[in-house]
Structure 1
């Protein structure tokens, strides 16, 4: 192998937006993340269900009348 072509692989500190920090190894000294296992809904058990049916109804109410009106004119 060629000498001096590999980056330095050292201990890195990972900092989450929630304030959690932990150590890992990386070529970067510090890594900033938006979400981690301490605050991710899947791991915390506090999953938020998205009301997709309500969103579809709001879309149909908002744009359904316009689409029906424009198709009858042509």
Structure 2
């Protein structure tokens, strides 16, 4: 690796505001905001809109789309394809 061309890589806290979850990981992303972590260290914090704790797919609250209704609406709008 070349020296002095890579971004700083260190511990960062990512905080999901919707779910109230915070997790510590390493990243090149930094922030001006800080938070005191569980072990007493002050670390940069990045607030995210959605994470696995609040994403509908991971929480099981995902809506199931009516695929048949979408196909019928498409066929009404654009007509049926004739078999080749």
* TM score, norm. by length of structure 2: 0.54
**Number of residue pairs aligned between Structure 1 and Structure 2:** 67
Counterpart for residue 14 of structure 1: 14
Contact 1:17/1:32 (8 A) holds in 2: yes
Within 5 Å, give how 1:1-74 maps onto structure 2: 3-16=3-16, 18=18, 20=20, 21-30=22-31, 31=46, 33-64=48-79
Provide the alpha-carbon RMSD of the alignment. Answer: 3.1
Q: Return 5+ residue gaps in structure 2 as ranges.
A: 32-45
Stretch deviating more after TM superposition (41-50 or 16-25): 16-25
Q: Which has the higher strand share?
A: 2
Q: Return 5+ residue gaps in structure 1 as ranges.
A: 68-74
Q: Which structure would you say has the larger Rg? A: 1
Query: After TM superposition, what 4+ stretches of structure 1 lie above 6 angstroms from structure 2?
Result: none
